[in-house]
Amino acid sequence: MPHTDSAWKRLRQNEKRRKLNKSVTKNLKLKRRALDTDIAAGDKTKVETSFKDAQAALDRAATKGYIHPNKAARLKSRAVKRLREIVAK
């Protein structure tokens, strides 16, 4: 346990940031999972809307520093690849 006042403050800040990071990453995971289920179902309109939601969430998380911008780009690229396979069918 911390002994100094500054260490206690650091502990409070870390806890607050940990909770925020957890909620953002959980939201990203839920959006990506929704996209995967819509792709598996094959409904084009649902896939397009869930793709837009996932893409926006990834961009927001990368801009705010929750995930690395390259990770966001990689995940979006993979999602577009799967989206194009559905549209081509």
**Per residue in 35-83, pLDDT tens?**
999 988 888 889 999 999 999 999 999 999 999 999 999 999 999 999 8
Domains for the chain: give ranges and CATH numbers: 5-88 (1.20.58.110)
| Residue 33 reports pLDDT greater than 80 | yes
What pLDDT is recorded for position 85? 85
Q: Which residues contact 11 (CB under 8 A, 6 or more apart)?
A: 2
What pLDDT is recorded for position 14? 97
| Residue 12 reports pLDDT greater than 80 | yes
Distance CA 72, CA 68 (A): 7
What pLDDT is recorded for position 9? 97
